[in-house]
Amino acid sequence: MKRSGFDYYAPESISEAVVLLSDLGENTFVMAGGTDLLIRKRHGMIFPDAVVALKKIKGLDRISVGPKKGLVIGATALLADVAAHKGIQNKYPAISDAAKNTANVQIRNMGTVVGNLCNASPSADNAPALLALGATLSIAGPQGDRTLALEDFFLGPGLTALKPAEIVIAATVPPPPANSGAAYVHLSARGKVDCSAVCIGAHIELQGRKVNNARLFVGACAPIPMRTPRAEKTVMRKVFTEKLAEKAGAAASEEALPITDVRATQDYRNSMVAVMTKRALLLAHKRARS
């Protein structure tokens, strides 16, 4: 029978955290905010032997917005702080919107954006917008530091590309190109109480009235947050109109791979992917124009 307790470690540096993870073994979990980890532990979904908490590591809670490096969100930066950050609201409103629409106030005051990503839930609210904006992850581990595109990070429900003893220390988003806009929209059964049944991240770049580039990602409708290339192709090199956004939504609906679960049926999700993709594109276009 598994024991109910676990050993708790609070390292004060990234290198110390990596050494602990290497020494303690595979049944050791990393904790940023703890809003996912502790709930899973309480419900008997995991039985950790040890937990390595990152809160005492100075600088991991940083949030910075600059013209060269873009946006950097540290591993322990709170969802609430990302949602309220004026620089993010101004330059990356889709990321602010995603953080603001994650769960409820209590969770946003404890949970982190990076933790939400590392949980690797198909319905993770913060993934689609960051994916649409081309985010990368900074990772520290026994073999040194590396950078990984967020698009290559998710392998399946609860599965990531992290190697043993590796830690995500930050998410970075490049500076937004001129004449570009991004949006995040989501739908859940009871507002912010439930996980999203459908969530969409959209990013477009304009050249005059035409769409020069587009990235669209759908959450909660496949084993991982998925890109919809046919929907992207629908709007590329065309003058943007509401009708074009509607066609892209229909294409995204055909590409999505939803299931029926307690949050929504497969048919409902398919229908809502079309509606929500259209809304996300319209908002992204509005922001690109302004």
User: Which token pair is 80?
Assistant: 């609430």
Q: Which of 3.30.70.1140, 1.20.120.80, 3.40.190.10, 3.30.390.50 is the CATH number of 180-289? A: 3.30.390.50
- Domain-wise residue ranges, the chain: 7-53, 63-173, 180-289
pLDDT band at 274 (very low <50, low <70, confident <90, very high): very high
Helix (H) or strand (E) holding 160: strand 159-160
Mean pLDDT, to the nearest integer, of 145-156? Answer: 98
The answer to whether the pTM exceeds 0.85 is yes
- Residue for token pair 């470690």: 9
**Residue 239 DSSP class:** B
Mean pLDDT, to the nearest integer, of 67-88? Answer: 98
Nearest to 227 by CA among 266, 260, 255, 199: 255
> CATH classification of 7-53 is 3.30.43.10, yes or no?
yes
Number of residues that this document lists for the chain:
290
Q: Report domain 63-173's class.
A: alpha beta
Range of weakest confidence among 39-48, 232-241, 263-272: 39-48
- Over residues 15-36, the pLDDT tens digits come to 999 999 999 988 999 999 999 8
Inform me whether the pLDDT recorded for 191 exceeds 60: no
Q: Sign of torsion, CA 250 252 256 261?
A: negative
Angle at 149 between CA 143 and CA 154, to 5 degrees: 90
pLDDT band at 69 (very low <50, low <70, confident <90, very high): very high
b/e 180-191 (16+ beta carbons within 10 angstroms → b): bbbbbbbbbeee
CB distance 39 to 115 below 8 Å: no
